[in-house]
Structure 1
Amino acid sequence: MKRTTRIKKKTKYRLWYLGVLTVLVLVLVIFNLALSPMRNAKKQATQLAQQYAGLKEETAFYHYNRNHTYYTVAGTNDKKQKIYAIVAQNGKKINVYQQNEGISEASAKKITQQTGNVKKITHTALGMHKNKPVWEISYLNSYGNLCYDILDFKTGKVVKTIQNI
């Protein structure tokens, strides 16, 4: 009788562990599938930057999504110049800029923080807005609302501000 009870308990625990393990595996698979499109976009943008901009070493990757989607690869080209290669989502247009032609990511963040209402910067991205390179800085303001600043890459001037989303 005791032996039967012990076997039932072991079976119960094994089934419970199997259930937990199954759930964990499913979560990992779903997470992997969710990230797959971004990994593919990064891979494609990097390949295009290597092919058309002479990218040799990648140092950063940005995803910009306003009216159009752009993927930006930062790095060094074959002439040892620091560049940004901004690739349209369809891969048909690539804009290449030397990093010293405009403001850095850190400078863009600093400009946004100087507005005085920034609690936490949540995301930065380099992309194209009205055919000009821009930094997009998303942040939470002091009220916890999501806000965006779009800054001109070359001048650092605020092109557009979206508040309290």
Structure 2
Amino acid sequence: MKNWLIFGVVFILSLSLVISVLVLWKANAPFNDIEQKAEELALDTKALAVISESYVYNGNKPYITVFGVDEYGKEKAIFVPMSLEENSMQEVFLQDGITEQEALTVFTKETSVQKVLHTKLGFEEPGAVWEITYMSESGSLNYVYLLFEDGQWWKRILNL
């Protein structure tokens, strides 16, 4: 009887683990697919020669931000719209703005933070922006947007 009980518990835990992994894998599949297509578009249009990283940025309009180096060796970020329209792509040279670390430094000087959840470079109506998502000391979710060009505050969404 004891062996059947142990078998049943192990079986249910194993089944739960397998189902959880499959659900997470399937949930990420659309993001992985669109990121791959955006990377291919950035390479095909010769906007980038080598790609180092990409992620989905959800602002007013969703973009895939693709980082890499162009054929002249300059580091760039390409913002590919979810529609994958070549003529709607935007780009910035990373040397023309503040880095992620500089954005975090500007942000932490003026804000009390419990935990920074993520920092993403995205594209909004004023141009390239750093989106910083964090938990405040009171435990609320907050978003802060800093302009990529000079680190000026653009928008804050607080206490969600």
Q: Taking structure 1 as the reference length, what is the TM-score of the superposition?
A: 0.85
Classify 1:13/1:149 alpha carbon distance in 2 versus 1 (closer, same or farther; 3 Å). Answer: closer
Q: Could you tell me which residue of structure 1 aligns to residue 125 of structure 2?
A: 130
Classify 1:125/1:62 alpha carbon distance in 2 versus 1 (closer, same or farther; 3 Å). Answer: farther
Q: Which one has a bigger Cα radius of gyration?
A: 1
Q: Could you tell me which residue of structure 1 aligns to residue 65 of structure 2?
A: 72
User: Hey, what's the Cα distance between the residues in 1 that align with 2:112 and 2:140?
Assistant: 10
Query: Structure 2: 5+ residue runs without aligned partners?
Result: none
User: Hey, what's the Cα distance between the residues in 2 that align with 1:41 and 1:109?
Assistant: 28
Question: Please, which of 102, 110, 113 is the counterpart of residue 115 of structure 1?
Answer: 110
Q: Could you tell me which residue of structure 2 aligns to residue 3 of structure 1?
A: none
Query: Structure 1: 5+ residue runs without aligned partners?
Result: 1-7
- Report if the CA contact (8 A) 1:63-1:126 is conserved: no
Q: Taking structure 2 as the reference length, what is the TM-score of the superposition?
A: 0.88
Q: Could you tell me which residue of structure 1 aligns to residue 41 of structure 2?
A: 48
Question: Please, which of 50, 57, 65 is the counterpart of residue 57 of structure 1?
Answer: 50
Q: Bigger CA drift: 126-135 or 50-59?
A: 50-59
Q: Could you tell me which residue of structure 2 aligns to residue 29 of structure 1?
A: 22
- 3-state DSSP of counterpart to 1:55: coil
Question: Please, which of 35, 39, 51 is the counterpart of residue 32 of structure 2?
Answer: 39
What per-residue deviation string (whole Å, max 9, x for no partner) do you get for residues 3-23 of structure 1?
A: xxxxx6545544443333222
Root mean square deviation, CA, Å: 1.8
What per-residue deviation string (whole Å, max 9, x for no partner) do you get for residues 87-129 of structure 1?
A: 1111112112111111111111111111132222111111111
Q: Could you tell me which residue of structure 2 aligns to residue 154 of structure 1?
A: 149
User: Hey, what's the Cα distance between the residues in 1 that align with 2:100 and 2:119?
Assistant: 7
User: Hey, what's the Cα distance between the residues in 2 that align with 1:10 and 1:149?
Assistant: 55
User: Hey, what's the Cα distance between the residues in 2 that align with 1:95 and 1:58?
Assistant: 16
Q: Percent identity?
A: 27
- Report if the CA contact (8 A) 1:62-1:126 is conserved: no
User: Hey, what's the Cα distance between the residues in 2 that align with 1:20 and 1:140?
Assistant: 32
- Report if the CA contact (8 A) 1:53-1:85 is conserved: no
Q: Bigger CA drift: 114-123 or 25-34?
A: 114-123
Corresponding residue pairs, total: 158
